[in-house]
Structure 1
């Protein structure tokens, strides 16, 4: 019984040594090919051609904004969240509507988001007003009251 345990422990340690050796060999080969820099602790992978451009502050300010109004359905208050900060909308807060997909967010949250990437954080639809095409830009048609 003791011999069986000793053999199991030895085999376990040998398998760990083999895995560590394989890992070191693969890392060395990748660094020799220039696949990554071993000295860095953060690896950033960018997909070529998939990054969407950001929006200018002027374009962001052209997006419709509105004061949040609590919607009541059958006597119940339905809380809505901002998908950027994950906080509930509160009565009277300034929100912004993305006309291409009709998603709403806190104005400050979505402004910050769009200054980095011009896509909706919920559905990834392009948020640029120039890409609306045939869609309506009339906010009253999507049920919001503009400021």
Structure 2
């Protein structure tokens, strides 16, 4: 009985030693190939965090907004739309906001809070700042949203 425990402990130590050796070989190979450049990793983080800065309150308020309503179609059940930020279904009459570049819709409060931290769409990660959007499409009374 005692012999079985000793053998098990020895085999455990051998297995751990093999895993550590394999890990060191893989990490050593990556260092030799230049795969782990700490400065490059830091630069990547800095670039990615500064590529999409937050939006100003004025820019956020210029995004198209609309009152949510459900269009009824004959013999077709339409699933309720969901805000990707708070994961709540849209309710009739709620104020929603449309991102002009990707056409994703969210509750106005949810996306305003999101965009004040980062100017990217929470669904598709596209830039939420205006790009080639005419003044006509910025008018919230002319916004049309197609639910697919």
TM > 0.5 between the two? yes
Between structures 1 and 2, the one with greater strand share = 1
Secondary structure in structure 2 of the residue aligned to 1:79: coil
| Contact 2:65 2:143 (8 Å CA) reproduced | no
Query: 1:97-118, CA deviations, whole angstroms, 9 ceiling, x for partnerless residues?
Result: 1111110000000000000111
2:60 counterpart of 1:54: no
2:112 counterpart of 1:114: no
Query: Where in structure 2 are the equivalents of 1:56-75 lying within 5 Å?
Result: 56-73=56-73, 74-75=75-76
Secondary structure in structure 2 of the residue aligned to 1:92: coil
Identify unmatched segments of 5+ residues in structure 1.
27-34, 36-44
* Per-residue deviation, 1:126: 1.0
Aligned length: 125
| Contact 1:94 1:106 (8 Å CA) reproduced | yes
CA–CA distance in structure 1, aligned partners of residues 78 and 92 of structure 2: 12
| Contact 2:97 2:111 (8 Å CA) reproduced | yes
Query: 1:58-91, CA deviations, whole angstroms, 9 ceiling, x for partnerless residues?
Result: 1100111111102334341321100001111111
* Per-residue deviation, 1:2: 5.6
| Contact 1:71 1:78 (8 Å CA) reproduced | no
Query: 1:24-52, CA deviations, whole angstroms, 9 ceiling, x for partnerless residues?
Result: xx9xxxxxxxx7xxxxxxxxx97121121
CA–CA distance in structure 1, aligned partners of residues 71 and 45 of structure 2: 41
Identify unmatched segments of 5+ residues in structure 2.
28-37
CA–CA distance in structure 1, aligned partners of residues 45 and 2 of structure 2: 54
CA–CA distance in structure 2, aligned partners of residues 85 and 143 of structure 1: 20
CA–CA distance in structure 2, aligned partners of residues 49 and 94 of structure 1: 34
Length-normalised TM-score, structure 2: 0.66
Between structures 1 and 2, the one with greater helix share = 2
CA–CA distance in structure 2, aligned partners of residues 141 and 109 of structure 1: 19
Match of 1:3 in 2: 3
Secondary structure in structure 2 of the residue aligned to 1:6: helix
Match of 1:103 in 2: 104
